[in-house]
Amino acid sequence: MIATHELTPTTSQAEMASPAEPAADILSDGAASNEFVAAAIDLEGMGRHEAPSAEPHPVPPDRPFGATAWYRALAQPTRAQLGLHLLATQVKIGIEFERVLKQGLLEFASTLPHDAPEFRYAYHEVIEETQHSLMFRELLVRIGLEVPGLGWLDRMGARRVARLGRKFPELFFLFVLGGEEPIDWAQRETLRSGRPVHPLVERVMRIHVTEEARHICFAREYLRHRVPLLSPRRRLSLTLQAPFLLNEMARQMMHPSAHVVREYGIPRDVVAEAFTNNPAQRASVTASLAKVRDLCVELGLVTPWIRPVWRALRIDTVAA
């Protein structure tokens, strides 16, 4: 997780009159009327033969690893197992991200009066994210592979990020978009691609992208309201941290985990070929951040003096 600077708040969130309140009310109503997401999949009613682990799960040839000669030279069972392992690590990352998100939302809610629409919305989102975590955990069980969570250093960073919900909510909600937008983009691309997807995995994706649309909408509207009200010091901090945070979040969401690289002995040059130095993959990362990057431009966070940093990290449109 990216390191963050915790600044003392200058304006209590309870003191602000938010034009985003109608949006918070509408989004809360949408969440409250939603059925329990895990039940919607009827996981308990599905036989074990439905588990993704019961079917071959090779990496498609148009995906980063699938296009490498190293992957094509592997035995078919190993190719299938690697594809399943990549899926399992993505699910685990989703669980870890949503854990930090829930903690941060509760910190955020602790700064608000109980009758604030944002307070109500935050608790509805915590409920939905908890349901997502249960859904992801059940999918992980059915995949049949146990993958490690965050290392100790990332866990320390995750705790700091969660505290931002109370101490620096604008940076926290940028973190939210940095995690939500890339995975939302990747899932929508998969669903649109026409590639074969396991029915259970497809169902999880469709539920996730539908419900995350509310969460993304709230984060964007909150930032549109709050960022113009920031003090010069806080605005500078947000401007400086935004490109590094978004780049790191996209990397964690869209690159293979160190665990998978070690488990399969994937050479560094293959990882570089498939991800770091792959123009198609870099274009995908840039595209996955397009909406949040455009929001940062709209909010005046991509200034002429900070734009070279965005370009150096290859997450700016010019660098795509």
pLDDT band at 9 (very low <50, low <70, confident <90, very high): very low
pTM exceeding the 0.95 threshold for the entire prediction = no
pLDDT for the residue 51: 54
Give one DSSP letter per residue of 242-288, joined into a string: HHHHHHHHHHHHHS--HHHHHHTT--HHHHIIIIIT-HHHHHHHHHH
Between 308 and 43, the more confident residue is: 308
Which of 4-8, 28-32, 189-193 comes out lowest in average pLDDT? 4-8
* Residue-range domains of the chain with CATH: 20-319 (1.10.620.20)
Mean pLDDT of the chain: 82
pLDDT for the residue 122: 95
Write down how long the chain is.
Answer: 320
CA distance 4 to 2: 6
pLDDT for the residue 16: 39
Running DSSP on this structure, what letter comes out for residue 55? S
CA distance 229 to 236: 13
Q: What is the pLDDT of residues 264-309, one digit of tens each?
A: 999 999 999 988 888 888 888 899 999 999 999 999 999 999 999 9
CA distance 170 to 230: 9
Q: What is the pLDDT of residues 216-258, one digit of tens each?
A: 999 999 999 999 999 999 999 999 999 999 998 888 888 888 8
Looking up tokens 């034009």 gives 19
pLDDT for the residue 48: 44
pLDDT band at 197 (very low <50, low <70, confident <90, very high): confident
> Do the beta carbons of residue 243 and residue 315 sit within 8 Å?
yes
Running DSSP on this structure, what letter comes out for residue 228? G
pLDDT for the residue 149: 73
Q: What is the mean pLDDT of residues 88-97?
A: 90
Which range has the top average pLDDT, 44-58, 200-214, 236-250?
A: 236-250
Q: What is the mean pLDDT of residues 122-135?
A: 92
